[in-house]
């Protein structure tokens, strides 16, 4: 089946957070929304067909994941990443962020420390804070337009003066993001191994958020953290979901892979009575996406690649003051706006009031995000073109005033 990703659908007045929250979130409803990670593309037809079929069965009671749902996850991980998992390792949750809250609480006590790698996906911050833990920032380094892990700094996070190496108060875990949101880096196997060895050698566990692992640009290959070795497998919690890949965020379903039985039991106990199971429609959509969604996904990735190429060329040729941090994966693009010489509030006002585009402020992703913006390019080309023209005109207007 041929999908047309260039078609523009009107999503206003559909209770769509991305489009209908603009007035309250941005202060205006005449912006182009390019913020929250929600694609402006209809889902794959097999997903819609599966949901319609399930609706026709008029019983919507308590639901458990059937063997076909579980097998769809097992088969997908084998097919996509050559990762063999045991079905017992899977714990289903209604989204990755709730799972992160559970994972941190299952691994820590109040007063413990959790490493983030800023700029970090901003919901990571409350995950740590609400658990009573402290954030330790192992900030990524921007080297020649590409982000890198600061391994020397990471090692120091475990051995500063006056910090206990054992007991309460020490670093217990890291929330690792691959591909990284917001900077778009896909960490390569040698990078993952070096980082993982530091964490595991210091008796900590890796929580690996891999929700964007199937949104990759040409030439990129994802390696699940736990697939690298038995040691990595036994010291990790891997979070995956079809929500970003297949645009199913509203159906809230994720698969959390926890090979270590003790870690898995602690996770299950920590979520009891607080984080429910996914809905029956979430299970239905997941199975359909993983089983029949690849034709749609292949065409989507081609369209996103063309959008990215168009965006990069546009900024280079027409808005050189804003530099694109070229992503390896995700449909979220990290824009370096520091040459505009605007502080955070001024940059926010510039994009919202002058350019009339709704981007996410870089500073909400941590201190190292100051001067950056995050743009969602998962939209029809016509919308992307309009947004880039608006930014170009706004930058030119400011330049003419100087």
pLDDT digits 0-9 by tens, 97-138? 999 999 999 999 999 999 999 999 999 999 999 999 999 999
pLDDT at position 197: 98
**SS3 for 173?**
strand
263 and 323: one domain? no
Q: Using 50, 70 and 90 to split pLDDT, how confident is the model at 399? A: low
317 and 238: one domain? no
92 and 126: one domain? yes
Whether 400 is in a domain gets the answer: no
328 and 379: one domain? yes
CA 318 to chain centre: 29
Q: Which two tokens stand for residue 270?
A: 């920590």
pLDDT at position 169: 63
Q: Which helix (H) or strand (E) holds 236?
A: strand 236-240
288 and 306: one domain? no
Whether 2 is in a domain gets the answer: no
pLDDT at position 168: 58
Burial of 79 (0-12, 13-18, 19+ CB in 10 A): exposed
pLDDT at position 397: 84
Residues 296-328 pLDDT 10s: 999 999 999 999 999 999 999 999 999 999 999
CATH code of the domain covering residue 321: 3.90.1150.10
106 and 211: one domain? yes
Query: At which of 241, 261, 292 does a domain end?
Result: 292
pLDDT at position 159: 84
338 and 359: one domain? yes
Whether 5 is in a domain gets the answer: no
pLDDT > 90? residue 91: yes
pLDDT at position 375: 98
Helices and strands (H, E) in the chain, number of each type: 14, 15
d(CA 82, CA 76): 9
Q: Using 50, 70 and 90 to split pLDDT, how confident is the model at 166? A: low
383 and 245: one domain? no
Whether 402 is in a domain gets the answer: no
Return the bridge partners of 134, or none: 113
190 and 247: one domain? yes
Query: At which of 236, 260, 292 does a domain end?
Result: 292
Whether 123 is in a domain gets the answer: yes
Residue corresponding to tokens 């420390």? 113
Q: Write the CA distances from 55 to 58, 248, 292, integer angstroms.
A: 6, 17, 19
113 and 258: one domain? yes
pLDDT > 70? residue 385: yes
CA 219 to chain centre: 20
Whether 386 is in a domain gets the answer: yes
pLDDT > 90? residue 335: yes
269 and 331: one domain? no
CATH code of the domain covering residue 201: 3.40.640.10
pLDDT at position 164: 55
Query: At which of 292, 308, 342 does a domain end?
Result: 292
CB 224 within 8 A of CB 82: no
Q: Write the CA distances from 306 to 13, 300, 314, 352, integer angstroms.
A: 29, 10, 12, 26
Whether 53 is in a domain gets the answer: no
- In this prediction, residues 59-88 reach a mean pLDDT of 97
Q: Write the CA distances from 128 to 98, 139, 140, integer angstroms.
A: 12, 16, 18
151 and 106: one domain? yes
Share of the chain above pLDDT 90, in %: 96
- Its domain, for residue 197, covers 59-292
Q: Write the CA distances from 37 to 34, 70, 221, 349, integer angstroms.
A: 8, 26, 21, 21
pLDDT at position 160: 67
Residues 174-211 pLDDT 10s: 999 999 999 999 999 999 999 999 999 999 999 999 99
Q: How far apart are the first and last CA of the chain?
A: 52
Residues 15-44 pLDDT 10s: 999 999 999 999 999 999 999 999 999 999
Residues 248-291 pLDDT 10s: 999 999 999 999 999 999 999 999 999 999 999 999 999 999 99
Report the domain count for the chain: 2
């Amino acid at each position: 089946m041929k999908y047309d990703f260039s078609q523009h659908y009107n999503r206003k007045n559909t209770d769509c957070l991305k489009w209908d929250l603009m007035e309250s979130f941005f202060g205006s409803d005449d912006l182009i929304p390019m913020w929250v990670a929600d694609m402006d593309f209809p889902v794959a037809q097999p997903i819609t067909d599966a949901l319609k079929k399930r609706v026709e069965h008029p019983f919507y009671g308590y639901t458990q994941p059937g063997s076909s749902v579980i097998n769809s996850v097992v088969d997908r991980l084998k097919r996509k990443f050559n990762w063999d998992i045991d079905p017992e390792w899977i714990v289903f949750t209604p989204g990755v962020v709730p799972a992160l809250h559970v994972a941190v609480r299952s691994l820590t006590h109040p007063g413990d420390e959790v490493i983030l790698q800023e700029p970090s996906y901003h919901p990571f911050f409350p995950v740590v804070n609400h658990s009573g833990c402290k954030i330790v920032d192992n900030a990524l380094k921007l080297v020649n337009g590409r982000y890198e892990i600061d391994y020397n700094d990471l090692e120091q996070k475990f051995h500063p003066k006056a910090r206990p190496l054992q007991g309460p108060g020490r670093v217990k875990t890291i929330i690792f993001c691959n591909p990284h949101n917001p900077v778009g880096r896909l960490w390569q196997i040698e990078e993952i191994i070096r980082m993982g060895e530091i964490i595991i050698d210091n008796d900590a566990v890796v929580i690996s958020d891999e929700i964007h692992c199937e949104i990759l640009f040409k030439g990129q290959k994802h390696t699940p953290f736990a697939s690298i070795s038995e040691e990595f497998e036994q010291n990790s919690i891997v979070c995956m979901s079809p929500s970003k890949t297949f645009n199913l965020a509203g159906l809230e379903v994720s698969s959390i892979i926890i090979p270590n039985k003790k870690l898995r039991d602690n996770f299950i106990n920590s979520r009891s009575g607080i984080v429910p199971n996914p809905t029956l429609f979430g299970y239905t959509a997941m199975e359909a996406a993983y089983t029949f969604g690849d034709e749609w996904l292949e065409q989507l990735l081609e369209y996103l690649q063309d959008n990215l190429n168009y965006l990069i060329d546009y900024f280079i040729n027409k808005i050189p003051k804003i530099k694109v941090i070229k992503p390896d994966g995700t449909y979220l693009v990290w824009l370096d706006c520091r040459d505009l010489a605007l502080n955070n509030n001024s940059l926010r006002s510039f994009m919202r009031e002058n350019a009339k585009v709704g981007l996410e402020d870089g500073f909400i992703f941590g201190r190292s995000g100051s001067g950056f913006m995050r743009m969602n390019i998962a939209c029809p080309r016509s919308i992307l073109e309009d947004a880039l023209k608006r930014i170009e005109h706004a930058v030119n207007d400011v330049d003419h005033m100087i």
